[in-house]
Amino acid sequence: MSRPHALHARRWRIHRLLMPLCLATALCACAPAPVRNPIAQWVPSPNYDARRPVLIVIHFTNEHSAAQALHTLRTANSGGPVSSHYLVGDDGRIYQLVPDSERAWHAGAGRWGSITDVNSASIGIELDNDGDSPFTQVQIDNLLRLLADLTDRLRIPHTQIIGHEDLAPGRKDDPGPRFPWAQLAQAGFGLWPQGPLVDPPAAFDPWSALGLIGYPLDNRAATVRSFHHHFRGMDGDTLDDQDLRILYALSRQLGAGGGASPAPAG
């Protein structure tokens, strides 16, 4: 082999050996670097994981189409920029707008149990619904598919599924009294009274039970309206005997191991 040809062959062999290394280096350069504080020495630990949501919040869009809702959720409404992780159309189509690991702007002011920054601890699901029409069956069917995926993949407790109005009584009214919470309960999602309802003892405190479930009690009449929408599918801002039976059953379920709403992970 002539000298120029031998030199060319050596260069080609070196190039082939270095190519995977160069490619790996380029890929590493493209990967996002971990966020580091410049005033601290970086001594990395492997003992961590991503922040995880512990709650799912269901909304209705109060818009007239999925296209209109998608536009709003990607821009702003009268109160400023808004978003949610998912939107389920009335035709059952599921849209994702924000990664599960990121903080969407869907809950606003409010709290649920010990969770005061709900956006940081939750997944938001919008349902394409104008607030007055019944939810379609295909929409609920695919919502159930989505709930099964999220609770399994993100390890969110099945009882930790609430409505927007539950965390913000008086400020929000979605998903409203038409939303089929009982159907979700039949599929194993959401907190729901189990077994026959019985009268509570005379010392039973319904407000403590509402607080144990997670409801804020700043505006008690508004809290009762949200509770009625969720558990009885009706309006009204005063507690009656059936409410007491439901609250007694729920408080016993939580006291038996359901626990109050956990604080945000991480």
> Mind telling me the catalytic residues?
126
Can you give the length of the chain in residues? 266
What token pair was written down for 10? 């050596």
What token pair was written down for 135? 């939810």
Three-class secondary structure of residue 24 per DSSP: helix
| 159 CB-near residues (< 8 Å, 6+ apart) | 190, 191, 258
Count of other CB atoms within 10 angstroms of residue 180? 15
| 68 CB-near residues (< 8 Å, 6+ apart) | 61
CA 48 to chain centre: 22
What token pair was written down for 219? 């505006």
Q: At how many degrees (to 10) do helices 206-213 and 241-253 cross?
A: 50
At residue 164's C-alpha, the angle toward residues 56 and 215, to 5°, is: 90
| 207 CB-near residues (< 8 Å, 6+ apart) | 217, 220
In whole angstroms, how large is the CA radius of gyration of the chain?
25
Backbone torsions φ then ψ of 40, nearest 5 degrees: -120, 155
Residue type, 141: D
